Amino acid sequence: MKKYIVTLLLISTTCFAQKTTLYTIGDSTMANKKDPDRNPEHGWAQVLQPFFNNDVIVVNKAVNGRSTKSFINEKLWDSIYKKLKKGDYVFIEFGHNDEKIEDSTRYTNPHTVYRYNLIRFVKESREKGAVPVLLTSIARRNFNEKGVLVPTHGDYPLETRLVSQEYKVPFIDLEYYTELLEQSYGPEKSKKLHLHFKAGENPYYEKDKADDTHLSLEGAKAIAQIVVNTIKTTEDASLLKLKKALK
């Protein structure tokens, strides 16, 4: 009987140890939204867990309105760093709010502070034995009168790519893939990926809503699927645990 109990405990401990935590850090394009059953807005990391089996636990720590600077200064990164353990993953997607040049608490120069904040996330994740993954910011729905999707993120995605190359960090080019997504929908239908409602059309919004940055449930799921597809097709050995845990 004692041997049986010990065996069960060993099995339970092994099963628990096999679980991998995937932390996601970033801004409102990733973050969980309150009242998800009523709220039309969703972050793409909010809908990521269902793509994985129980071996991977998604812990979405993205927060609305945060840049790399404010995420660090508000100790949000410290709270994650303290919990990181060997074998965890950290998905890092910032940029939208680093661009806010009118806000000194959030703005970062892409070639200096933004770059070095990304490097900090990478190095400190690796210090704890975790695997950092860099992602460029998702594209905004920003079509001009000719139907051309015009980029809005300046040099921030470039710096993300450069840090990834220099420090050999797994990389998902969300800017590129979401540009393709927006273009595949076109100037009008791409509104479905975002938050476009007339007053009274949706009970969650009393007034007209025209938001080309944040995501509808359809948009969030589409981007989560892009992330999953990239993991499925990667040959990067450091992402193997995530790859094996996909449904």
pLDDT in tens, 127-162: 999 999 999 999 999 999 999 999 999 999 999 999
By percentage, how much of the chain surpasses pLDDT 70? 93
For position 206, what pLDDT does the model report? 87
Instruction: Give 6's pLDDT tier (boundaries 50, 70, 90).
Output: very low
- Of 63, 56, 103, the residue nearest 79 (C-alpha): 63
Evaluate if residue 50 carries a pLDDT over 90: yes
Identify how many contiguous H helices and E strands the chain contains and give both numbers: 8, 7
> Quick check: 10 pLDDT over 50?
no
Q: How does DSSP assign 101-125, residue by residue?
A: TT-TTT---TTTHHHHHHHHHHHHH
Give residue-wise pLDDT tens across range 208-239.
999 999 999 999 999 999 999 999 999 999 99
Structure tokens at 32: 């969980």
Q: What does the pLDDT average to over 152-181?
A: 98
Percent over 90 (pLDDT), the chain: 89
Residue 2, pLDDT > 70, answer no
Q: Which residue has the tokens 């979401």?
A: 178
Phi, psi of 109 (to 5 degrees): -65, 125
Contact partners, residue 119, CB within 8 Å, separation at least 6: 163, 167
Element (H, E) at 57: strand 56-60
Structure tokens at 187: 């100037």
- For every residue of 138-182, DSSP letters joined together read PPP--B-TTS-B----TTHHHHHHHHHHHHT--EE-HHHHHHHHH
Q: Of 124, 136, 180, whose CA–CA distance to 162 is shortest?
A: 136
Residue with tokens 């910011």: 137
pLDDT band at 17 (very low <50, low <70, confident <90, very high): low
Q: For strands 171-172 and 131-135, give the pairing.
A: parallel
Q: Taking Cα atoms as reference points, which of 94, 183, 172 lies closest to residue 142?
A: 183
pLDDT of the residue at 13:
45
pLDDT of 53 reads 97
Q: Is the pLDDT of residue 11 over 70?
A: no
What pTM, to 2 d.p., does this model score? 0.92
CA 209 to CA 69: how far, in whole Å? 29
